[in-house]
């Protein structure tokens, strides 16, 4: 919704002022390059999401276990991860669709607005990813810190070294 609102406000500003349509300025080849770059960045962000989910799933400390099993926060956290992952797929898909639809030098059909929605969505979800990833790292670090502060078992005593006795 945020991406649509941002793009809608920008579209209204362009229509009212008659300027500021940044993606309409370059020619078709440069727009296609921008769409391709946005789709590529979204795919790379998707790989970061995978790494973050792996870190989340591998965390075994008390805080992360409590978060994952909490009846409200656990499902919300998982929904956030799935939302970010699915948004990266949507961003890539919209950019690829813009590549297909943008067939003329000036883009009278407005395919570049589709790409702008995708870019706005990508920025919003990447911001959430950074926040969520930070929470997972912080939770894992605090859990690790508590484990390090817990007194461990005393080190086992070393067995006595045999000493050779002189023969008498």
> Which residue is associated with the tokens 């362009």?
14
Q: For residue 54, what pLDDT is reported? A: 83
* φ, ψ at 152 (rounded to 5°): -90, 175
Most confident of the following: 53-57, 72-76, 98-102, 146-150: 98-102
Mean pLDDT of 42-71: 83
How far apart are the C-alpha atoms of 70 and 61, rounded to whole Å?
A: 14
Q: For residue 25, what pLDDT is reported? A: 86
How far apart are the C-alpha atoms of 103 and 32, rounded to whole Å?
A: 10
Mean pLDDT of 53-61: 79
Residue 162 has pLDDT above 60, yes or no: yes
Q: For residue 161, what pLDDT is reported? A: 60
CA–centroid distance for 4 within its chain: 20
| pTM reported for the whole predicted model | 0.75
Q: Which two tokens stand for residue 106?
A: 């000036």
Q: For residue 56, what pLDDT is reported? A: 79
Residue 156 has pLDDT above 60, yes or no: no
Residue among 156, 55, 32 at smallest CA distance from 104: 32
Residue 152 has pLDDT above 60, yes or no: no
Angle at 38 between CA 86 and CA 21, to 5 degrees: 115
Q: For residue 136, what pLDDT is reported? A: 80
């Amino acid at each position: 919704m945020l991406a649509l609102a941002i793009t809608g406000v920008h579209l209204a500003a362009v229509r009212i002022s008659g300027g500021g349509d940044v993606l309409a300025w370059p020619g078709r080849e440069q727009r296609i390059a921008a769409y391709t770059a946005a789709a590529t960045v979204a795919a790379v962000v998707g790989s970061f999401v995978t790494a973050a989910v792996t870190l989340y799933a591998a965390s075994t400390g008390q805080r992360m276990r409590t978060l994952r099993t909490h009846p409200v926060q656990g499902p919300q956290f998982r929904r956030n991860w799935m939302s970010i992952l699915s948004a990266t797929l949507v961003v890539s898909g919209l950019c690829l669709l813009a590549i297909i639809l943008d067939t003329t030098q000036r883009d009278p059909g407005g395919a570049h607005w589709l790409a702008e929605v995708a870019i706005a969505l990508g920025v919003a979800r990447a911001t959430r990813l950074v926040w969520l990833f930070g929470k997972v790292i912080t939770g894992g670090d605090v859990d690790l810190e508590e484990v390090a502060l817990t007194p461990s078992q005393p080190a086992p005593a070393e067995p006595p070294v045999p000493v050779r006795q002189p023969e008498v």
